[in-house]
Structure 1
Amino acid sequence: MAGAPPHLVETWVSGWARIRGTPPPERHRDGFRIEVGAPDQRTRYVFPAVSATLTRLAEDIRLPGICLKVCAPPETVRVLVPRRWRLDPPGTFMQRDDIAPEAIPLPDGYRLERETAEGIDSICVLAADDSVIATGHVVVIDRAAIYDRIATHEDHRRLGIGRALVAALDHAAVARGARRGLLVATEPGRALYTALGWKPLAQYTSMAIAPPRP
């Protein structure tokens, strides 16, 4: 898994930007730039593979607030960028072809709620006390469903809630015409998606410069 197809990365970053409410990504040579505008992340660059553009940015950038993302293993990235860059735990860029939603019920005492705004479906799982214990978001770009920020509170894991949440997102995506799915999974989440039929395309490494200590 040395890199990912650029057209799939472009589709994914376009969906990510829609869900996060940022401006659309712009081409930056062989990668993509998103002006996030958050206090801890002004700009992020995403690359389908390691490139001269990525390494040049890593050499030139010296202040925090800019994130570099690349579809490459962390051990490959580590030797190419200065030590001031802190590498986050690696993820996996994944794809699922032919989304086929299943009817996966929640355990007793839990329920789903869905909100839709500007083509984005946001689904949460509530416990019996009405506390939100799981969330996920999906948007469809060019017949591809981009899934983002899927998470279950640690006190409610291993109950099948994650599978039911992803199934609900699948239903929402297929209703909007999605044919395939794209996401970046954390290392703990990769096992769930693999069990649901997702395939890894590339390892995904994120890095940033840590802000100075006060």
Structure 2
Amino acid sequence: MDGIVRNWVDGWVVSRGAAPPAVEPWGWTIDVGLAHHVSRHVFAATNDEVDEATVRKVADSVTGAGIWLKVFAEPSRVGPWLGDGWWVDPEPGRLMSVRLRTSRRPGTHETPAAVPDGYRLRTWSSGGVTRVMVAAPDGSWAARGQIAPTGATAVVDQIETSPDHRRRGLGTVVMRTLTQAALEQGAEVGVLGGTPDGRALYESLGWRVDAPLTSAKFTGRP
């Protein structure tokens, strides 16, 4: 399972333009460089292998605001391990994966999913990341997402649909377009850290849950 976590870390770093992950005895530290997200500590253990003493030790060593923890266990379990100054996202995320498969018919150049009438799909790649944008009929933003292939694995990231354009299949269009792009670059497996809102979409496309994901942010002690 730690292989999936490492694959997620490697692809996420490429996707976000973060610093190369520094190896720790318990996982990895990634410098992100944003005011609200300075660095993140990602633990390699998942599910029952997550160790309370290790998480407590790492959390207690944090002194600056804007440091995040990513722990592959339920928030209800991880929350009580953290001291003052930690905000814990009450919504449990999920580490998910899938064997990538094409949705194009052989010998065609069709887009992987039909774009609703009036909407415009655009895809481009830069710095090892492929991005997809769907524009609404009036030209405003409707949906987006990106994927970072790193060898045989590709990390899906920042999938989002505007509240004004949901339930029109745009999430599926984005996901299938990204999947096709990753396959064309040699990727075989997809990995993502999903939110509760996105879980239904991912599962409808064949993704499976490998572990829960707790996100916690240090805001500073009184």
TM-score bracket, shorter-length normalisation:
over 0.9
How many aligned positions are there? 209
CA contact (8 A) 2:29 2:40 kept: yes
Partner of 1:23: 19
| 1:110 alignment partner, one of 115, 119, 133 | 119
Partner of 1:99: 101
Percent identity between matched residues is 36
Aligned equivalents of 1:146 and 1:90: distance in 2?
Answer: 19
CA deviation string 1:56-89 (max 9, x = no partner): 0112223311101111111110122214311112
Aligned equivalents of 1:135 and 1:198: distance in 2?
Answer: 19
Partner of 2:179: 170
Matched position secondary structure for 1:145: strand
| TM-score, structure 1 as length reference | 0.92
Q: Quick check: 1:8 aligned with 2:9?
A: no
Partner of 2:109: none
The amino acid that maps onto 1:160 is G
Aligned equivalents of 1:98 and 1:83: distance in 2?
Answer: 42
Matched position secondary structure for 1:48: strand
The amino acid that maps onto 2:28 is F
Aligned equivalents of 1:182 and 1:101: distance in 2?
Answer: 18
CA contact (8 A) 1:99 1:178 kept: no
Partner of 2:192: 183
CA deviation string 1:107-159 (max 9, x = no partner): 11111111111221011001112212111110111311100001000110011
The amino acid that maps onto 1:163 is T
- Of stretches 69-78 and 92-101 in structure 1, the one that deviates more from structure 2 is 92-101
CA RMSD across the alignment: 1.6
Partner of 1:206: 215
CA spacing shift, 1:135–1:98, aligned 2, 3 Å: closer
Q: Which runs of 5+ in 1 are unaligned?
A: none
